[in-house]
Amino acid sequence: MITSTKLSASSPEAEERVRSEEEIGSFAFWNVNAIRPRLQFNTTEITSFLKQHNPDLLFLSELRMIADPRSQSIPSSADKKSRDEQTLWNQALNIGVFKDYKVAGLSLHPSKRYAGTGVLVKKDKFNLVRGVTYDIPRVSGTTTLLSPAASTSSSSTSSSSKQKAKKTTPALTSFFKAVPSPKEASSPPAKKQRLAGPQKHDSEGRVILLELPDFFILHCYVPNNGGNQASFERRQLWDKKVQEIFTKIKEEGGWKGEGGNMKEVFYCGDLNVTPDYLVDVSHPEWFRSKMPITGDPGNSGQPGCTPNEIARFRSLLDSGGLVEVFRELNPFPHPPVGQDLPYIDITANVFTWRGSPGKDSPEMGRYYKKAMRIDLLLATREGMRRVESVEITGGGVDNKDPSFMGSDHCAVIATLKGEEEMEKGGEKGGA
């Protein structure tokens, strides 16, 4: 049995590096499984996490806050529960666990406490934000990003954002159903937008696209595969269009950002798929035996572990020229033939989702001591060269371990190399 407790910790040398104030040193992404209870009951764990890891960027998913009718970037205050959530959120930003951060982007479901994503940026790094949007690019040659000044939660705009947008030819077609807020749909474009047109959101608030000086980060909360034909088709469409987009990015050599510069792309979040069900779940055959269905056997199994999902994920890596970063840095052998399962120690820091213990006794929980790795970081080959390490921060037998901070997912941290380090290694701009 593999019992390593941390396969991806940063080296002492990496921890001692002095990072330029003009560089992003690390970013984290975490499915919070509803922000309200996290801010009510888990501030001690969150504070400890932020103190230990100090990420420059913190992407959050499954916020489960309802949006204000005016904009999907504003939390609702229409009822008492929403007002309480808004109060907790604002307190966390002003004097609480997130007081060292500013909101760079927020995208919420317009009518349900469901899905929702956001990104927080350290205050001393907020000047590095070049733009944020909540949908996939629609046109070739640009990301259709709004400048920070044009966003509801961003700061001053860059000088390049004052220039008029050039006409481009359609290429990257958005597949997420976008919903402009009533205010945005009826208002003229903000003067400091890079491109004219309303700010649009994924209909469920599942997308954050952040532009930084040297790269983009696309953070998504991917829909669960579910257990019926409608949900299978929904997820298949998502996967198909993501693959089409990254295939186009590969062909064009990246995404064009401010000044027309081509930039690398990172894709991260709760991607709701296990890259390899033999090593990325605690009990492969158990997970594969869940939710048997009639029809296509490729859809049978625990969502995230089905043959069809994994096949589409591998196709995305191949056609998009993407690297699954954690496994690239931490190669892991398949279990030997005849090896008893589980092959991997359930307490090891190699899974990002863990099941809950039973109410009356731990063993009564259906998913107790069961785990999956479904929160992932993908990078273009060029982007991969920037990555120093990826660390899965949660361990233990179930999601009640403090490292999960109250959620059923733990946070994942990516540490990046500095420009000076890349130049010394002869990697910057390499083929």
State pLDDT tens for residues 212-266.
999 999 999 999 999 999 999 999 999 998 998 899 999 999 888 888 889 999 9
31 is in an annotated binding site: yes
Distances (CA, A) of 86 to 6, 64, 91, 213, 370: 36, 12, 8, 31, 34
Is 270 tagged catalytic?
A: yes
Is pLDDT at 171 greater than 90 in this prediction?
no
Task: Determine what percent of the chain is predicted with pLDDT higher than 90.
Answer: 62
244 is in an annotated binding site: no
Q: Where are the domains of the chain?
A: 12-424
Residue-by-residue DSSP string for 96-155 = STTTTEEEEEEE-BSSSSS--EEEEEEGGGGGG--EEEBS---BTT---PBPGGGSTT--
Catalytic residue among 68, 135, 270, 375: 270
62 is in an annotated binding site: yes
Catalytic residue among 109, 201, 219, 409: 409
What pLDDT, on a 0 to 100 scale, did the predictor assign at position 232?
94
Calpha distance 353→417 (Å, rounded): 27
What pLDDT, on a 0 to 100 scale, did the predictor assign at position 315?
98
Q: Is the pTM of this model over 0.85?
A: no
Lowest-confidence region among 141-150, 256-265, 273-282: 141-150
Higher pLDDT, 139 or 89: 89
Which CATH number is 12-424's, of 3.60.10.10, 3.40.630.20, 2.60.40.4070, 3.10.270.10? 3.60.10.10
Calpha distance 10→335 (Å, rounded): 26
Distances (CA, A) of 350 to 32, 327, 336, 343: 18, 10, 19, 12
Question: 307-320 vs 229-252: helix axis angle to the nearest 10?
Answer: 10
Nearest Cα neighbor of 302 from 199, 401, 245, 226 is 226
Calpha distance 147→164 (Å, rounded): 12
* Mean pLDDT of the region 357-376: 92
> What residue type is 425 in one-letter code?
G
Mean pLDDT rounded to a whole number for the chain: 82
270 is in an annotated binding site: yes
The partner residues of 122 in beta bridges, in order of sequence, read 101
202 is in an annotated binding site: no
Is 334 tagged catalytic?
A: no
What pLDDT, on a 0 to 100 scale, did the predictor assign at position 165?
39
Catalytic residue among 101, 134, 221, 267: 221
Q: Give the containing element (helix H, strand E) for 35.
A: helix 35-41
Calpha distance 208→14 (Å, rounded): 28
219 is in an annotated binding site: no
Count other Cβ atoms within 10 Å, centred on residue 417.
22
Is 201 tagged catalytic?
A: no
What pLDDT, on a 0 to 100 scale, did the predictor assign at position 292?
72
